[in-house]
Each structure stands twice: as structure tokens, then as C-alpha cells.
Amino acid sequence: MTHICFLKIHEPVACDAIFLFGGSHPGNFEKPLEAYQKKLGKAVIITGNNSTWGMIHPSWNYGDVPQAGVIVSYLISNGVPADAIVYEERSKNSLDNVLFAKEIFNFDKINSLLFITKSYGAGRQWRLLTKHLPPHIRYVPYPFDTNFTDDEPIMTRHNWMNTPKNCSLVYGEYLRIVCYGKKGDITPLDNQIAGLENHVSEYC
């Protein structure tokens, strides 16, 4: 399940563009800036309005202001050129992050894409990209680990199984991967985890 949800570990390499999935976590600010400063991409694609799930990180102090606009302002104030950034502020979920990004950026002209997301969601987001973007693109994950309150341990690929809450989050990611694959929203799994078929049927 770790490899399905977190993907295998990839060394970051320079790509043609950087893609940020929407979110309010500090990592959504820090990782695209870090990636650009490390010259891991020349163009930066920022997506997101606000989540339909209503999950807002406690550090978010911008109310209902679209996430993408706030992140763009942060990047520019920290030295990323405005003409290196494209962004959309309409999407409220990961699927729309990708679909609306296609309206503002020509993915046919790139061969590689560094994508930034929470580490436990990397597998689902990779499957979204491979489903909806041109098949020639090579993808490099650039994830960040998360917690949702200061008194929680940071969840990683190595410790997610140690707390009930994190187990629930990762298990939920697996169920979404299977169900969204069945719906056709993302590239489906080749094989499900044996023994979980009944749980998948109940969830979907």
C-alpha cells in the first residue's frame, strides 16, 4: 500500500515545468519555491481555489481567498519571476486542478513534469496526470510530508502505519485510487491488494 499511495522514492531531477496541486498546507508554498530555486523547472503551474472537502491547514490565514493566488504572491515576493508562473483559481478538487490547468498551459510542448503534492497522495495525483495529460510526458514526484496539527507527528512513508488517524488517511487514499480508477477519472491500478476487495466494493 505504501508504494501505491506514496509511490517509489524518486530523486528529483530538472524538468520542463513544475506543477502544484492545490492546498493550504505550508508545503504548498515552500515546495514550489524550493523547486524553482533548485532549478528543477523553468515554468511553474499553480492550481486551486479552495477544497470542497473543507480541510484547511491551521496555518492558513487567508479565509476564502483562492489558494493559487495567495501562493503566487508568495512565490513572486520570494523572487520567482511573474512571467515564469501560470495559475488558475477555479478548481476545487484534484481532478479539476489538472483539467483547468490544461486550459492555461500547453502540455503538448513539454516532455517532463515535476509535480508537487502531499506525500501520501502522490500515487493518486500521478494517476490523475497520466490519465489526462499527453502520454509522452515523464513525471517526477516532489512530495512533502504532512501533519494537520502541531501536536501530531509528521506522517511519512515510513511511519504512517503507527497511528490510527494516519492509517485511516492512507487507507482512504488507496480506496480512492481504486474507485476513481473504476470511474475513469484516473489511470487504474493493474492489481488491487488481495483481501481488500469487499472494503473497496463498500466504498465505491
**Domain boundaries along the sequence of the chain:** 2-203
* CATH classification code of 2-203: 3.40.50.620
pTM (2 d.p.): 0.93
Three-state SS for the chain is CHHHHHCCCCCCCCCCEEEECCCCCHHHHHHHHHHHHCCCCCEEEEECCCCCCCCCCCCCCCCCCCHHHHHHHHHHHCCCCHHHEEEECCCCCHHHHHHHHHHHCCHHHCCEEEEECEHHHHHHHHHHHHHHCCCCCEEEECCECECCCCCCCCECCCCHHHCHHHHHHHHHHHHHHHHHHHHCCCCCCCCCCCCCHHHHHHHC
Tens-of-pLDDT digits for all 204 residues of the chain?
Answer: 999 999 999 999 999 999 999 888 888 989 999 999 999 999 999 999 886 666 777 777 877 788 999 999 999 999 999 999 999 999 999 999 999 999 999 999 999 999 999 999 999 999 999 999 999 999 999 999 998 777 788 999 999 999 999 999 999 999 999 999 999 999 999 999 999 888 888 888
